[in-house]
Amino acid sequence: MYVRQGRALVNHTYTFSEEYRRFGPVHLLVLFVIEDARARGLADVHSFGRGDEEYKHRWTSCSTTCERLLVARRTLAGRAIFRWESDVKPMVWRHPWLGGSLRELRRRWMLRRAAPPTQEADTDA
């Protein structure tokens, strides 16, 4: 899915079946979208979004750093969230393996929370 922001084309997400990874479906999709947007005069810039993953460097040798401003309350929860957003999360984004592992843990945790409670056998009989 792509979003156009001014003259920039920003990718949001890609998905495909793992069995097709060797064919590079994402690279073909990106190529088609970029060529189509340029041919129709819709965008001059393609943004892969945040992060410094290796696949992004296959497309270009230049990059732009995005800055952000974090504001937090001086409560325990505010400080914890600030620390996560300012220190831990950027470190995770710099290490794709760590980020992937944390996303997988979060996915499993969410599946576990969404699963209906299991019925335990009646052991009083």
**61-76 average pLDDT score:** 82
pLDDT score at 3 = 79
pLDDT score at 60 = 79
- In this prediction, what percent of the chain has a pLDDT beyond 70? 90
- Residue appearing with tokens 């992004």: 56
**58-75 average pLDDT score:** 81
pLDDT score at 2 = 78
DSSP-derived secondary structure letter, 9: E
**CA separation for the pair 14, 1 (Å, rounded):** 7
The SS3 assignment for 46 reads strand
Picking from 63, 2, 62, the residue whose alpha carbon sits closest to that of residue 32 is: 2
